A and B are shown apart, each in its own frame.
Chain A
Amino acid sequence: KNQVEQSPQSLIILEGKNCTLQCNYTVSPFSNLRWYKQDTGRGPVSLTIMTFSENTKSNGRYTATLDADTKQSSLHITASQLSDSASYICVVGEETSGSRLTFGEGTQLTVNP
Chain B
Amino acid sequence: DGGITQSPKYLFRKEGQNVTLSCEQNLNHDAMYWYRQDPGQGLRLIYYSQIVNDFQKGDIAEGYSVSREKKESFPLTVTSAQKNPTAFYLCASSIRTGGTEAFFGQGTRLTVV
**A residues apposed to B, CB below 8 Å:** 4, 31-32, 34, 36, 41-46, 49, 51, 89, 93, 97-106
Across-interface contacts of A98 in B (CB, < 8 A): 96-100
**B residues apposed to A, CB below 8 Å:** 6, 31, 33, 35, 40-45, 48, 50, 56, 88, 90, 92, 96-107, 109
Across-interface contacts of A42 in B (CB, < 8 A): 106-107
Instruction: Find the A residue at minimum CB distance from B40.
Output: A105
B42–A89 touching, CB < 8 Å = yes
Instruction: Find the B residue at minimum CB distance from A45.
Output: B104
In the bound assembly, the distance between CA atoms of A47 and B50 in angstroms comes to 24
Q: Smallest CB–CB gap between A32 and chain B, Å? A: 4
In the bound assembly, the distance between CA atoms of A49 and B33 in angstroms comes to 18
In the bound assembly, the distance between CA atoms of A43 and B104 in angstroms comes to 6
Which listed residue, B40, B45, B103, touches A101 by the CB 8 Å rule?
A: B45
Across-interface contacts of B100 in A (CB, < 8 A): 98
Q: Looking at B31, B41, B50, B97, which has the most chain A CB atoms within 10 Å of its CB?
A: B97
In the bound assembly, the distance between CA atoms of A36 and B100 in angstroms comes to 14
In the bound assembly, the distance between CA atoms of A100 and B100 in angstroms comes to 12
Q: List 15 A–B pairs whose Cβ atoms lie within 8 Å, in order of A's numbering.
A: A4-B42, A42-B106, A43-B92, A43-B104, A43-B105, A44-B43, A46-B101, A93-B99, A98-B99, A99-B48, A99-B98, A100-B45, A102-B42, A103-B35, A103-B43
